[in-house]
Chain A
């Protein structure tokens, strides 16, 4: 994928480019196979300035979908992987002291607002609860980001768009999103694609022939039946693509699947052995 990175916003009196948020512009189309009307809904939401929430299991194409849409809408993309220590300042920005100077450095969210980019907060529920509140003013009619430390009230340009994702599958009750947050978003459900479609995706992304791709998808389907019975989640499309990529590099299918699918999925001996049996059975 060809990426070009433009450095962050103005205000760079000292050299702070190492801290700047990368705005990613995809030069070529990131491959994405639409399953339903998600591209249409997303584009309409983008035009209407509505934030979007992507729900679905891990590895089913949520991140790729956002990349694809950013390319399609010709907007830069800022991606933030949320974690449990993500603070408001991590999103909005902070003053840095560089040499004798105090330099304001935009956080990824502020950078995205300034640039009219798509800001994608991946796995939002992982972030600290108070962090999610800063996105609230951006998600309603105000469409603005108050940057308290600078006394700045940033109005989002029409091209700015907020996208969040979360995985309802393995989320515990302890990490539920508050209704006050949920109800601000247009939501799109993602799931593993249907077998023939998924085989096309695996073949395209992994660089393997159709027959191998079908076998991989078959294996993926078998592991998904074990969800809740040994596995927290079955193999996502991403794992299947990984396996395909290893096969394309000349690995034997069974070895590739063990390394790319069975081992990442399970530690528990019975489940691991059963996955090995499944791999053996499919190839």
Chain B
């Protein structure tokens, strides 16, 4: 590639070409002018990504091109990541979200460039902080970034980046201190008092809240010191001494019994003497009692409902079990209140969800409020499990799983791209299987004989401490050793150990429309013969069909799960395999490999029965995209220890198979009618 920069008119022409701009009455003049200033290499990358994006949508391509023109210079090395973030956002939420994601990314990138090398980004410390807080709290706290540090008692907001300290360790410590104090607000009852009456007396509510936050920080630091002295010491080092004017308040609030009410009292005292400018401490965040109390109230209502429902269920079970004469489970009192084994003392008596709720209530109140311990009167509450979850009874619109898909043009994933539905395969004609078994009776007999011989081959292990036979070689050696005065080995036996095959096989059957007719018949007949063969071998195996119609309808049909037996029901489902829609293979491979991974066997094998290359309706899956995605899925499976094999009926040569499965990992059968006769032999070779 020549290193000459492209001129604006050249860029304009290339963009117009890529994005068909003239058809849409758009002009690439402005972006081209901006792109002209960039080095050639970056210009080419912009053009490349615009082309990639245009394959998804012309509008997306235009958006990428026009934003890239303005921002590429600032992005530097992160340009590729910037585009991928945009494409990802497009897949998730569309064009408007893409614009926002790209602008945000560029903005973050610019602000990073401005900051010193010692600053710490929230993303770099999020995992560490969230583990730390989880350990302190026992319930997972949500962490998020916001313009300032504050908490609503469920989520902790922390700044996107901290730079206030001179070194990285200091900034990490500052994050920890902020987070710990916010957590302490929820843990040590900052929101248990109503500050509104006091706040109303202040002319400047914001100033009052700032002061309140400072007083609470004093109190909470002392509370932390009692339980986590090292943490409190770190915080104290970080802030330096409290200002002399506040020392008295700090001492008062550090007393063991101090509560948020004492902080309010300090606030009132300050109001009387007249408050000056609020001192700024880097680790003290903001406090928003209104938001926190709202969230806390909602949580309490939720927890109480869970707890009361659990108690109701317990009461119902107890009375059913004839609890009248059981002193541990007294019956419901007349008004519906009840005495349960005291949950304050005995959380273990509760089911897990209710136990969590009770713990959460204890954190909010310090004890479980008595009203939560009344199961509502009979009839008012129905003991229903998970009534808070959205009702989806009978509606199968919710996919069973989402899978990422590999886009080779982007060199990255499309997240949650494929919507997978798993369902029972329809039952087919019972007579059909019987007919196949009669027709192939001879073949089945010979397959069974051959496979039974394979079953449980014994492998002699030589030089064992004990065993069924004497190991002659070892014996001779030992004799010779002894004669020559050496110490003979005591390992003189041959042990025959039955070698378990320890193999699980997943058959993935193509149910695409193109299999209609001969191919489908051949697939079904092959499966019948395979089942006969594998039953003789005793391997674990499962059969699933796959088909689909675009990425939002990827269907998996259960024909035989690993635990299902090869019985009449299974045979009918084999008979019911029929040609349906398209072949989006990557997602099927990913899903079935996941099922296969759960098998406790040493060897795992994924066998695909198919009639051609991956294909899907309408979108780009046909061709290289589908092959690349499938290849990627098979590679992932191989990384997990799953070997893949493909049996294809494809009269068109199947030149893509070596690329997908690797050499010697596929069979091409040129005539569907031959498949049933060949399949058992293929399987035998594969697993010998």
Known interface pairs A225-B134, A225-B135, A230-B134; A97-B176 also in contact (CB < 8 Å): no
Q: Let me know if A270 and B465 touch, CB within 8 A.
A: no
Q: Cα distance A218–B228 when bound, in Å?
A: 9
Chain B min CB distance to A208 (Å): 16
Residues of B within 8 A of A89 (CB): 465-466
Question: In the docked arrangement, what's the CA distance between A99 and B481, Å?
Answer: 10
B552 within 8 A of A: no
Find A277's partner among B132, B482, B598 (CB 8 Å cutoff).
Answer: B132
**Total CB contacts across the A-B interface at under 8 A:** 78
Q: Are A223 and B227 interface neighbours, CB within 8 A? A: no
A234 to chain B, nearest CB (A): 9
A230 CA to B136 CA, complexed, in Å: 14
A226 and B131 in contact, given A94-B465, A97-B490 (Cβ under 8 angstroms) = yes
- Taking a contact as CB atoms under 8 Å apart, the answer to whether B127 and A270 are in contact is yes
- Do B131 and A283 have beta carbons less than 8 Å apart? no
A25 to B488, CA, bound (A): 34
Q: Mark A219-232, 1 if CB is under 8 A from B, else 0.
A: 00011011001100
Contact string against A for B residues 129-161, beta-carbon threshold 8 Å, 1 for contact and 0 otherwise: 111101111101000000000000000000000
Question: 0/1 per residue, A247-283, Cβ < 8 Å to B?
Answer: 0000000100000000000000111011101111111
* B194-235 contact mask (Cβ, 8 Å, vs A): 1 or 0: 000000000000000000000000000000000111110010
Known: A99-B482, A225-B135, A278-B135. A218 touches B227 (CB 8 A): yes
A222 touches B135 (CB 8 A): yes
- The verdict on A95 contacting chain B, using a C-beta distance below 8 Å, is yes
Are A280 and B234 neighbours in the complex by a CB distance under 8 Å? yes
Whether A149 contacts B230 by the Cβ 8 Å rule is no
Determine which of B134, B176, B482, B488 lies in contact with A229 in the assembled complex, contact meaning CB atoms within 8 Å: B134
- List residues of chain A with CB within 8 A of the CB of B130: 270, 274
Q: Is the CB of A230 within 8 A of B234?
A: no
Q: Does A1 contact B (CB under 8 A)?
A: no
Q: Which of A94, A97, A226, A275 has the most CB of B within 10 A?
A: A97
Q: In the bound complex, do residue A96 and residue B490 qualify as a contact, i.e. CB atoms below 8 Å apart?
A: yes
Q: Quick check: B230 and A280 within 8 Å, CB to CB?
A: yes
Counting CB contacts under 8 A, is B128 at the interface? Answer: yes
> Is A44 positioned at the interface, with any CB of B under 8 Å from its CB?
no
Within the complex, the shortest CB–CB distance from A2 to chain B, in Å, comes to: 33
Residue of B nearest to A272 (CB): B128
Residue B600 CB within 8 A of the other chain: yes
- A25-38: CB near B (< 8 Å → 1, else 0) gives 00000000000000
Whether the pair B234, A98 counts as a contact (CB closer than 8 A) is no
Collect the chain A residues with CB atoms within 8 Å of residue B135's CB: 222-223, 225-226, 274, 278
Is the beta-carbon distance between B176 and A277 smaller than 8 angstroms? yes
Docked CA distance A241–B482 (Å): 51
Q: Does B554 contact A (CB under 8 A)?
A: no
Q: Which residues on the B side are within 8 Å of A97 (C-beta)?
A: 478, 488, 490, 492
Q: How large is the interface on B (under 10, 10 to 19, 20 to 34, 35 or more residues)?
A: 20 to 34
A277 and B140 contact, Cβ closer than 8 Å, known pairs A223-B135, A225-B134: no
Q: Does A3 contact B (CB under 8 A)?
A: no
A229-241 interface mask toward B, CB cutoff 8 Å, 1 = contact, 0 = none?
1100000000000
Q: Mark B175-198, 1 if CB is under 8 A from A, else 0.
A: 010001000000000000000000
Contact string against A for B residues 44-57, beta-carbon threshold 8 Å, 1 for contact and 0 otherwise: 00000000000000
What residues on B are CB-neighbors of A94 within 8 Å? 465-466
Complex Cα–Cα for A97 and B478 (A): 10
A141 at the interface (CB under 8 A from B): no
Contact B132 A274 (CB under 8 A): yes
Report the minimum CB–CB distance from A183 to chain B (whole Å).
22
Chain A residue numbers with a CB within 8 Å of B488 are 97, 99
Min Cβ gap A103→B in Å is: 9
Q: Which residue of A lies closest to B228 (CB)?
A: A281
- Give CA–CA (A174, B602) in the complex, Å: 12
**A96-B465 CB under 8 A given contacts A229-B140, A281-B231, A282-B228:** yes
Distance between Cα atoms of A274 and B133 in the complex (Å)? 9
B319 to chain A: closest CB distance in Å? 28
Contacts of A98 in B (CB 8 A): 490
Among B131, B136, B229, B478, chain A packs the most CB atoms within 10 A around the CB of B131
Assembly CA distance A98 to B234 (angstroms): 66
* Closest residue of A by beta carbon distance from B126: A270
Which residue of chain B lies nearest to A230 when distances are taken between CB atoms in the complex?
Answer: B131
Q: Nearest-CB distance from A275 to chain B (Å)?
A: 8
For the complex formed, measure the closest distance between the CB of A101 and the CB atoms of chain B, giving whole angstroms: 11
**Residues of A contacting B140 in the complex (Cβ-Cβ under 8 angstroms):** 229
Binary CB contact string for chain A from 79 to 102 against chain B (1 if under 8 A, 0 otherwise) = 000000000010000111111000
CA distance A229 to B490 in the complex (A): 50
Indicate the member of B129, B228, B492 with the most A CB atoms within 10 Å. Answer: B228
For A226, give its contact among B134, B234, B478 (CB under 8 Å). B134
Q: Which chain A residues border B131 with CB–CB below 8 Å? A: 226, 229-230, 270-271, 273-275
A220, chain B: closest CB distance, angstroms: 11
A281 to B226, CA, bound (A): 11
Closest CB-CB distance, A88 to chain B, in whole Å?
10
Contact of A174 among B478, B490, B600 (CB under 8 A): B600
A273 to B132 alpha-carbon distance, docked (Å): 9
In the bound assembly, the distance between CA atoms of A98 and B230 in angstroms comes to 62
Given the known inter-chain contacts A97-B490, A225-B135, A230-B134, please indicate yes or no for A274 contacting B466, CB distance below 8 A.
Answer: no
Residue of B nearest to A268 (CB): B127
Bound form: Cα–Cα A222–B231 in Å: 14
**Which chain A residues lie closer than 8 Å to B234 at the CB level?**
280-281
Near A by CB (< 8 A), chain B positions 63-86 give: none
Please indicate the chain B residues that have their CB under 8 angstroms from the CB of A274 in the complex: 127-132, 135
Known contacts: A149-B466, A278-B135. The answer to whether A283 contacts B229 by CB under 8 A is: yes
Encode contact with A along B463-474: 1 for CB under 8 Å, 0 otherwise.
001100000000
Q: Complex formed: what's the CA distance from A235 to B593 in Å?
A: 34
Measured in the bound complex, the distance between the Cα atoms of B135 and A218 in whole Å is 11
B residues in contact with A222, CB < 8 Å: 135-136
| Given A89-B466, A96-B490: A278 in contact with B132 (beta carbons within 8 A) | yes
Among B180, B466, B598, the one with the most A-chain Cβ atoms within 10 Å of its Cβ is B466
A-side contacts of B127, CB under 8 Å: 269-271, 274
Q: Which residues from A are CB-within-8-Å of B231?
A: 280-282
Residue among A89, A97, A254, A281 with most chain B CB within 10 A: A281
A283 cross-chain contacts in B, Cβ below 8 A:
229-230
Question: A96–B465 Cα gap in the complex (Å)?
Answer: 7
Q: How distant is B17 from chain A, measured CB to nearest CB, in Å? A: 47
Q: How far is the CA of A252 from the CA of B227 in the complex (A)?
A: 19
Cα separation A282 to B180 with both chains bound (whole Å): 13
B465 surroundings in chain A (CB, below 8 A):
89, 94, 96
Tell me the minimal C-beta distance from A274 to chain B in angstroms: 3
A41 → chain B, closest Cβ, in Å?
19
Min Cβ gap A176→B in Å is 10
Shortest CB–CB separation between residue A217 and chain B, in angstroms?
12
Set of chain A residues within 8 Å of B136, measured between Cβ atoms? 222, 225, 278, 281
Map CB proximity to B onto A46-88 as digits: 1 under 8 Å, 0 otherwise.
0000000000000000000000000000000000000000000
- 28 example contacts (A-B, Cβ-Cβ < 8 A) are as follows A89-B465, A94-B465, A97-B492, A98-B490, A173-B600, A218-B227, A222-B135, A225-B134, A225-B137, A226-B134, A226-B135, A229-B134, A229-B140, A230-B134, A254-B230, A269-B127, A270-B127, A270-B131, A273-B128, A274-B127, A274-B128, A274-B129, A274-B130, A274-B135, A280-B231, A281-B228, A282-B230, A282-B231
Question: Could you list 7 further interchain pairs (A-B, Cβ under 8 angstroms) beyond the known A277-B132, A280-B231?
Answer: A89-B465, A96-B465, A149-B466, A222-B136, A226-B134, A229-B140, A273-B131
A interface residue numbers (CB < 8 A to B): 89, 94-99, 149, 173-174, 218, 222-223, 225-226, 229-230, 254, 269-271, 273-275, 277-283
Q: Which 6 A-B pairs have the closest CB atoms?
A: A270-B127, A274-B131, A281-B231, A174-B600, A94-B466, A281-B228
